[in-house]
Amino acid sequence: MTTPPLRLFFALPCPPDLASRVASWRDALGTFGRPVAAENLHITLVFLGSQPRGRLAELKALAEEIVAPAFALTFDRLERWHGGLLHLASSRPPDALIALEHSLRERLLSQGFDVEDRRFHPHLTLARHCRALPGGLAVAPSFSWQVESFALYVSENHQGGTRYKALSRHHLRG
């Protein structure tokens, strides 16, 4: 019997206390779109899509080999992309974040993973199918934290919703 593939991606987990602050702030903006559950908030580094379970060990090992420093990350802009994706973005994404995404992508490509060649726009998705950018923000957002790790996630359908589960965590050091 063959096991079904997994929908995988590498991401920065949003720390739980920050995730609940972000979700409360978003919810106070009003009713819009389909909100992302607080426990699912993350910043995608590289999306892998459907992958055979047999490659999991290889992915974890590849991530473990990455030597990259921890860094501070600040999201200070609320934006909406075509298609209705409401998200937080950073006006100055740190070089260490760009370098982390780059080195992960290079390793994946060199091991034959078919990752899309698209520009990295770090963002924290807040809601999907959002028709308009909520107006009237009294204060610009400012959410910061020290990023100490990244993780390999699986996206699972769970009781009608989507759940992102970390399969392995990789500490930043260097």
List residues with catalytic annotation.
42, 123
69 vs 102 by CB, closer to ligand 2AM: 102
Q: How far is CA 22 from CA 14, 77, 113, 156, in A?
A: 10, 13, 33, 23
69 vs 103 by CB, closer to ligand 2AM: 103
| Least spacing, CB of residue 167 vs ligand 2AM, in Å | 13
Question: How far apart are the C-alpha atoms of 79 and 93, rounded to whole Å?
Answer: 15
| Least spacing, CB of residue 101 vs ligand 2AM, in Å | 12
For 158, the token pair is 């769970």
Question: Which residues of the chain form contacts with ligand 2AM (CB under 6 A)?
Answer: 9, 44, 47, 85, 116, 125, 155
44 vs 90 by CB, closer to ligand 2AM: 44
What are 169-174's contacts with CB under 8 Å, separation 24+?
169/13, 170/63, 170/64, 170/66, 172/68, 172/69, 172/70, 172/71, 172/100, 172/147, 172/148, 173/67, 173/68, 173/69, 173/70, 174/67, 174/68, 174/69
| Least spacing, CB of residue 138 vs ligand 2AM, in Å | 26
Nearest to 164 by CA among 12, 32, 1, 4: 12
2 vs 159 by CB, closer to ligand 2AM: 159
| Least spacing, CB of residue 124 vs ligand 2AM, in Å | 8
